[in-house]
Amino acid sequence: MRLWLMVFLLGVGTVHAADMIAPRQETIALRQEMISLRYVDQDPGDPSYLTRILVTADFLRLDDGNDDGDFLLLDRRQRQVTNVTRDNKLAMVFAAGMVPAKPAGWNPRLDTQPGAAGTQRFSLVLKDVVCSEGVAARAAAPDAARAMAELKSVLAAMQYRVWAASPRELQHDCDLANLVWESGATLGLGLPLEEREFNGRTRRLESESKQPLQPELFRVPEGMTAINAPS
């Protein structure tokens, strides 16, 4: 499920738009390039779709490749995520929250083995179930891999709340591994080139490039109503 479609599960409170996090323009102006990653993602039974990830030293933006569409914006310095939905002019702000302690007996295993030149294959295993497996490249856009791990870390508490609020038959320990307690484990191995999760969701890197910085892509549009999600 695409992340910006999950927010309706949460109880929220409205704040003034002026309280929204604003990019520091003087900092952005010093950066001349941004990393652009394009992934082909697919959920079981659904058509594949494009996910674009843009990374600077200060921000990460996740969208569908449309500059004027909805997007997630991570402020890497403030450790805050803003989910922008343009049709209803909402900007939902997520701050990093507290994640519950790991339960007794929580013992996942991250297995790796050499892959093609500069890559390694990995599998994250919990209770004999492969929660995630794929291929990572340590030298490919390492700051982008760090930013992706930072995004998952900020959202880990929210992901736990979504898991806890789900019907028992939809709760799976691998969701807690992939999104909460081991959220940065595989990204610590490098940029994911391909990945398959326990539920059949797949991801494949289509391209990685550096492009001229477009500061407006890392700015919350004017006229949005900001909503603080529970921390």
Task: Output the CA angle 76-41-45, nearest 5 degrees.
Answer: 140
Confidence of residue 31 (pLDDT cuts 50, 70, 90): low
Give the chain's end-to-end CA distance (angstroms, integer). 21
Task: Output the CA angle 223-226-230, nearest 5 degrees.
Answer: 170
Task: Output the CA angle 157-97-135, nearest 5 degrees.
Answer: 50
**Least confidently predicted of 11-25, 113-127, 131-145, 151-165:** 11-25
Q: What is the pLDDT of residue 229?
A: 82
The CATH classification number of 3-228 equals 2.50.20
SS3 141: coil
| Cα 156 from Cα 162, distance rounded (Å) | 10
| Cβ count within 10 A of residue 154 | 21
Confidence of residue 20 (pLDDT cuts 50, 70, 90): very low
Per-residue model confidence as pLDDT tens digits over 135-170: 999 999 999 999 999 999 999 999 999 999 999 999
Per-residue model confidence as pLDDT tens digits over 60-91: 999 999 999 999 999 999 999 999 999 999 99
| Cβ count within 10 A of residue 63 | 20
Contact (Cβ atoms closer than 8 angstroms) between residue 70 and residue 86: yes
